[in-house]
Chain A
Amino acid sequence: MSAPGQADPAAGRPAAAPGPGRARGPGPGLPPPAPEPARAPQPPGATRLLPDAWRQRGSGVCLIATRCGHCGTLTFPPAAACPRCWQRAGLREEPLAQPGTVAACTVVHTPAEGIPAPYALAYVDFPGGIRLCGRLESWDDIAPGDRVTAVAGVLRSRPGGDLLGWLFRKAGS
């Protein structure tokens, strides 16, 4: 996190530089990255949660996993090595199939740094055995079993720059 007025330390870093942790390519079904991915409209100082794991498409968010070309295991966030067979090569990016399904949810009544209370959290299950914990955009009518999709949002508001990521929204609303 950078202090107010300082440049985003990530700004000068080459995006997705090839290296030991990045020996993977885009898989089928994945939208091509925008010419300048979501960094351009981002306010100064803002940071992205798990920057390799999501791409904004309009207000929607494509969540990106990796699938192991060797054993087929799906991993989120994108992995540098398959946790099942330890292969480092042949991991292909693959979008998580949305909508996900709410496994459980709660309303939290204590504020956290940069998160005013109340706010709502859910465990959301996706095909392939992936469960994500994430914030709900609104929670008046959400219950376990409901379908949700990811939308872009601010996870934490901070003086030095917001933390950007995805929130879950009831599908079709």
Chain B
Amino acid sequence: MTGVFVAGIGMTGFGRFPGETVESLALPACLDALADAAVAADDIDAVYCGNVYGGMLPAQRIAGQLGLTGRPGYNVEAACSSSAVALHLAVQAIRAGQIRTALVAGVEQLSASGPGGLRLNAADPDIAQGLTMPAAYAMRAQAYLAATRATLRDLAAVAAKNRGNGSLNPRAQFRTPATIDEVLASRPIADPLTLLQCCGTGDGAAAAVISRHPGPAGRPVQITASVATSGTTGQHDLTREPLTERAARAAYAEAGIGPADLGTIELHDAFSIAELLYYEALGLCGYGEAASLLRSGATTRDGRCPVNASGGLLARGHPLGATGIAQVAEVTGQLRGTAGAPARQPRHGLTHCTGGGITGYDHAACAIHILSAA
């Protein structure tokens, strides 16, 4: 199978930038990725864009500002995993020999829709009943706390860890650290989740050039697994994440590694409980053991396998369409040993996004990538 490399990466800072546009946010991230990969316009065979709320044809709008017209532009909407699914499609096309090099962008401007939570589909029956994303995760948290020995302080410790990591990341939207007590004392959103256990809404963009060619980086980064799949409907065990479990199994098989080989992970900590559930679903520990793994320090920035060293969704921020590629940019930087990355230079890293918010599903979409230093 053709090897696929992350040849170049670029990313804006995340924050609230109501004066920008989808195009003006995406442009610097794309230019940085193109420069990092040292490619010319003729090298780019296709443009992919992950975006949720930015209107029609963002891939073409961005391509038009980069002189990348006259070639395929693909627009991918998969809620919070939009640009991760876009990356998956680009990887598939390169592996199949249809294209050699692609620009994959993720962009979102949530400040354009004003303050408050996400505008979910008002016609969805669960949303009409009043379901919000925090409420959906809060019910998982209630179920998980009842079924395991995890405590409210463990939930808050996830947020404290990731806020601490975000304070070291100049691109993070939230750079003020918070203690466990401060997390617990922040205002209640949906019991047991408090404000600092919920990712904020924001704006930003990230881009990657992926290619059959490794690019000029001293330590090339290869995409050794690319999995995208959908969830299932019905009565799920709320204390487990079967969608992520299934995607992770497929990704490990594709990369020929296991969870113990991972040296860094950027996972979908949209809410504090999510990180604990995903430790287990990704196979980092057994069922009910996530709080012990967190307390052991293994997932801190200096631990054996840092999780969300960037600050994750909780601190780096979560402009939906941008998150998938932002995770890839973060892990690629760590694999390359870029300044500012955790001291330990990993050999393999994993990125993980889910996308939800519709009736019946556990989550609607999930994408996992494994990146390996070549």
Contact = CB atoms under 8 A, between A and B. Distances in A.
B128 A109 contact: no
Interface in B251-269: none
Contacts of B235: 103, 125, 129-131
Interface of B: 116-117, 125-126, 128-132, 134-135, 138-140, 142-143, 146, 187-191, 234-236, 238, 359-360
Interface in A64-112: 77, 103-110, 112
B190 A49 contact: no
A12 B358 CA distance: 30
B222 to A, nearest CB: 39
A106 B130 contact: no
Contacts of A135: 129-130
A134 B140 CA distance: 15
A155 B139 contact: no
Given A106-B138, A123-B238, A144-B142, A112 B191 contact: no
A115 interface: yes
Interface of A: 49-50, 77, 103-110, 112, 115, 119, 121-123, 125, 129-131, 133-135, 144, 155-156, 163, 165
B140 A155 contact: no
A109 B190 contact: yes
A103 to B, nearest CB: 7
A49 B360 CA distance: 16
Contacts of B188: 109
Contacts of B191: 106-107, 109
Contact of B125 (A49, A121, A130): A49
Nearest to B136: A133
A133 to B, nearest CB: 4
A130 B138 CA distance: 20
Q: Which of A115, A123, A125, A130: most chain B Cβ within 10 A?
A: A123
A104 B130 contact: no
